[in-house]
Homo-oligomer: A and B are copies of this chain.
Amino acid sequence: MAGVSPATVSNVLTGRRVRAESAQRVKEAASSLGYAVDRAASQLRSGRARVVAMLVPSLENPFFTSIVAAVERRLRTDDHDLVVASAADDVATEHSRLQALLSWRPAGMIVIPCTDDFAGASLLAAAGTPYVVLDRVGGAHSADTVAVDNVTAGLEAARHLIDLGHRRLLIVASARTLSNIKLRCKGIVEACAAAGLEEPALIEVGFDLESAVDRLQTWLSTHERPSGIIALTNFATLGALASLARFSVSIPGEVSLVGFDDYAWMRAAAPSITAIRQPVEAMAELVWDRLRARIDGDSSPVVQAMLPVSLVIRASTARCQTGDPAAGLPGQGLRRPSRTGGRQREQGTGRGAKA
């Protein structure tokens, strides 16, 4: 020690009332020794952890990582640290990761569940850890939730296409069991009903690109081609793009496409992609606000927050080209000659050859 006292050091470092002179000495000593409080000991004694745990379905999905990044940014300003775990899109893994995270005794937890009925809720309740459920807000949660207005999202996407004259829509979804997907569909169906259209077709493509492309290709070669496609996740958007490219379907000439989530590549793609943008930054802010309030003892009734999305109109949607009745024939796209060298070649090398 340079100066005095073991407990006074703690008082200085936790910002309690200490004479300015001693505080100064302690700080000098600390910095010269390169001393930093041991979080484990600190947390053990005080019972207060400056850690927030976050459990997401996957760290491969840019939507989730962008939320993680935004949350991390928020936490940094409040001097908290972040422990992340990925559930690997698997309920069993989710459960075991949740237990691992709980053993940190985090101050609070942010969860994006794998499925609507978040089984871990009972664990969290038993541990008394405050938590907020994010994005996939399905079952009846007894905790605060933050989500996006999925119905309006679907409604706006569909209305945009309908306004452009599209009548035959296709929904590309990951899995219709997820409530946010269901709600987006609901919005689309509402918009269609309002326009006097029948309910659009829906295809489920799963959570990875390979299966999405496979299923979309078989669907497209066996069904009448839609004039407008709404993809409800970012993988679905990629899958739709890839499959349409394989069939050399021009966008937006033959098919208009509305994607979900707004990423850099959508701006750079040719054509750039019209998409529903989720307010990632606002979601992160809101979720941390709620969680911090709960950590600080707020015991008001749970709140289910819903944030608005925005439709970013780019080049992948255009006025429907009517008067081409042949376009609807099954399998048509496969036989149609492609127009650009790039697309044509893509059919051969699209799966990627290593050099």
Query: What is the interface of chain A, defined by CB distance below 8 A to chain B?
Result: 34, 36-41, 43-44, 49, 58-60, 62, 65-66, 68-69, 72-73, 76, 81-86, 88, 97, 99-105, 123, 126-127, 156, 160, 209, 213, 235, 238-239, 241-242, 244-245, 250-253, 263-265, 267-272, 310-316, 318, 339-343, 345-346, 349-355
Contact = CB atoms under 8 A, between A and B. Distances in A.
B252 A104 contact: no
A256 B185 CA distance: 40
Contacts of A127: 34
Q: Give how many copies assemble into the complex.
A: 2
29 contacts: A34-B127, A37-B103, A38-B44, A40-B105, A58-B69, A59-B65, A62-B65, A72-B86, A73-B88, A76-B86, A76-B97, A82-B84, A84-B84, A209-B268, A238-B268, A245-B268, A265-B265, A267-B352, A272-B352, A310-B355, A312-B354, A313-B353, A313-B355, A314-B346, A315-B345, A315-B346, A315-B350, A318-B341, A339-B340
Contact of A253 (B73, B314, B342): B342
A43 B44 CA distance: 10
What 9 pairs between A and B have smallest CB-CB spacing? Answer: A271-B342, A59-B69, A242-B268, A315-B346, A311-B355, A238-B268, A65-B65, A265-B265, A241-B268
Contacts of A252: 341-342, 345
A215 B149 CA distance: 37
Nearest to A251: B342
Contacts of A73: 86, 88
A273 to B, nearest CB: 10
A213 B242 CA distance: 24
Contact of A69 (B86, B251, B351): B86
Contacts of A105: 38-40
Nearest to A249: B270
Interface centre among A44, A267, A270, A351 (most CB of B within 10 A): A270
A237 to B, nearest CB: 8
Nearest to A262: B352
B59 A81 contact: no
